[in-house]
Structure formats: C-alpha cells, structure tokens
Amino acid sequence: MKSKICILGLFFLSFVFGSLRTQTTEDRFWNWFVKNQDVYYSQTFKRVDNISGYKDYNERNKNYKRLSDKLSQIDPYLIPVFRPVDTNGIKELLISANGYKPTFPKIIKLIRKSPKLKNWKITAFEQRNLNDSIKVGYASKERAVVVIDKDTLQGGYISIQIGYEDVFFKYSNQSKELDLNIYVRNYEEGLIKHGRKNAVKKLLKNLLGEYDLEMEIDWINYIKLDENNMNGLYPIIRLRELIDKRKLERKGLFNTSQN
C-alpha cells in the first residue's frame, strides 16, 4: 500500500514539475498577472502632487516596479502603460517598447498569449491618437516632452509648442519603408533644437502609432522649414493617409486605378 502511495506521489510531482517546465516565460507572466490583477485594476499609477498622497503613491510605485520587473524577464525594453477605467468598467494595459523595433516580435508574442479578462483590455504598442488638434511642448528647463490637447496643458511650464500645422514632409518610397524629409517650422533655435526634434517624434507617434512609425518608415531627416520654398511639401497630417494606403496596396485591398 505504501509503495502505491509513493508511486502516486512521485507521479504527481513529476506531472507538476513537468507542467512548470513546459510553461513559457509569457505564460508565467500572465499567470502572475491574473493573480495580481485586482491590485492593478484598483490603482491609477499617476503622479501625486499632495503630501497626503505620498504613501499611496509610493505603494503604487512598488507595484508598478513589480510589474516592470516581471516584464523585464521577457525583455528589458518592455514598458507597461495603464489607461484609466472607462465608462464600461474596462481598464487598459498597454505593452510598449518605446519604439525599440527589435523588441516588437516579443510584444506580439506576449499579447497573443494574453488571457481574456473580464475587466481588462490588453493592447500591443502605443496607439494612434485620432485627435488632429494635438500639440506637443518642450519644457526647456526640465528637458522633458509633454503632450497637450487643444485646450488643456498636461505637464509643466512650456517654452515651445508645436502642432501638426508646423510640420511638413517629402518622401521617397524606393523600398518597403518610406524615407522622409521632415520640415519643421523654427527647427533651429540653438539649444532648443534637440527638444524640438523630440517633440516632432512625439507628434509622429501620436499620428501613426508606435508600430507603424517604426515599421513603415526607414529613416527621417529633420530640416528647418523655409516658408518661402514649400513647393512639393505635404502637411504632416497627410502622412497617416499615405501609410494606410501603402498598407492596403500591399494587402491587395486598394484599387490603384481608381480616381
């Protein structure tokens, strides 16, 4: 009898450890997230500006770091981004690589393995912002890029603001990806040049989304806009339409003969 119990015990242990060995890193991450999802659903993970909120803020920082550490076991470039709970009670967890292209396949693999959770939307990559009134500002003292919508500032002191109306482009399509010359109004302003370039990159990410920005464009050359010589330049907002048209053409879904 004892020998049978021992055999059954060994069989059970071998089954458990065998199952653990067959789990991928992605499986282990999602199993962990499912167990801890309530913590991340209930917290907002945004900056706190009052002293009474510091304790809660520190706790949220610890939880965010735990999640980041778990993701870094898959790839150190993975970044978790949370969106607020919407009117339907759904909270979004977005996994980004901050535009680091070599990590993209790992994001896709991770999202494909994500479980279906009742109160969650799991998204790959930073998505397009369809608000065409977005402006991006560069805070020169803090050297940080912040995003502004049409009326509301989301950040600190802004020394420069730049919107889609300040950016134009030309393109070459000799390969699958586009080569771009980006023409920026007031691009060269001494030490502000670096910040303005970062602001334009942020605009492009809002316009195209993280994935299309990296996968559809090969290289970008930034040039100061000469407003007396704008022949052949397209408003930057047209770049979204161009990218989408090229994607449809590759899929054979776009009639190139139509007017």
Domain chopping of the chain, boundaries: 2-124, 135-251
CA-closest candidate to residue 182, choices 172, 199, 196, 167: 167
Helix (H, G, I), strand (E, B) or coil at 38: helix
The answer to whether the Cα torsion of 224, 227, 233, 235 is positive or negative is: positive
Token pair recorded at residue 164? 């889609």
- Count Cβ atoms within 10 A of the Cβ of residue 122 and give its class: 0-12 exposed, 13-18 middle, 19 or more buried: middle
Residue 122 to residue 94: CA distance in whole angstroms: 6
Counts of helices then strands in the chain (DSSP H, E):
7, 11
- The letter for the amino acid at 104 is F
> Which residue positions in the chain have pLDDT lower than 50?
15-16, 19, 47-54, 141-146, 150-153, 158, 190-191, 254-259
Residue 123 to residue 209: CA distance in whole angstroms: 12
| DSSP 8-state secondary structure symbol assigned to residue 252 | T
In sequence order, what are the residues at sequence separation of 6 or more whose Cβ sits closer than 8 angstroms to the Cβ of residue 85? Answer: 41, 91, 119
In sequence order, what are the residues at sequence separation of 6 or more whose Cβ sits closer than 8 angstroms to the Cβ of residue 97? Answer: 75, 77, 78, 79, 103, 104, 107, 125, 210
Contact indicator for 183, 252 with CB cutoff of 8 Å = no
Q: Which helix (H) or strand (E) holds 183?
A: strand 178-184
Report the pLDDT value the prediction gives residue 130, as an integer from 0 to 100. Answer: 92
Report the pLDDT value the prediction gives residue 189, as an integer from 0 to 100. Answer: 56
What distance, in Å, lies between the first and last C-alpha atoms of the chain? 84
